[in-house]
A = this chain, B = another copy of it.
Amino acid sequence: MYITNTELRVRYAETDKMGVVYHSNYFVWFETGRTEYLRALGYPYSRLEKEGIMLPVVECSAKYKKGAQYDDEIIVQTSVSELKGASVTMCYEVIRKETEELLVTGFTKHAITDKKLKPVKLKKENPELWAALQDCI
């Protein structure tokens, strides 16, 4: 199982009046983890899009244990949990670097589509990326 660690700092803009990070912002961090995961594999998502492969989110979920706070250093651990004909699911663990506490877990499931958001069979369309993702699980 291939895992990447992406680091970021909590922005003031990401907090809310409860003093912790607003829950929807973790999905943006998941995106950051996913972006760096695909780059590490050799397939930056910005390039995939230019080549006509889109990964729109069809489902996502998160569980919150503890809240991240302003200026915390955060690690987003990213992995691939499932690869199907025309979808891929990625998992995330959000960790506070200083204390190594697990703050949030979650996943995003993505359709694999062309530019018009029509499903494509990745194995046929881009067999190298397919193989690379298979090797990650």
Contact = CB atoms under 8 A, between A and B. Distances in A.
A133 to B, nearest CB: 19
B15 A16 contact: yes
A45 interface: yes
Contacts of A46: 70-71
A71 B59 contact: no
A66 B132 CA distance: 29
19 contacts: A11-B31, A12-B35, A12-B45, A13-B22, A13-B24, A15-B16, A15-B17, A23-B27, A24-B24, A24-B25, A24-B27, A35-B71, A45-B71, A46-B71, A57-B64, A58-B63, A58-B64, A59-B61, A61-B61
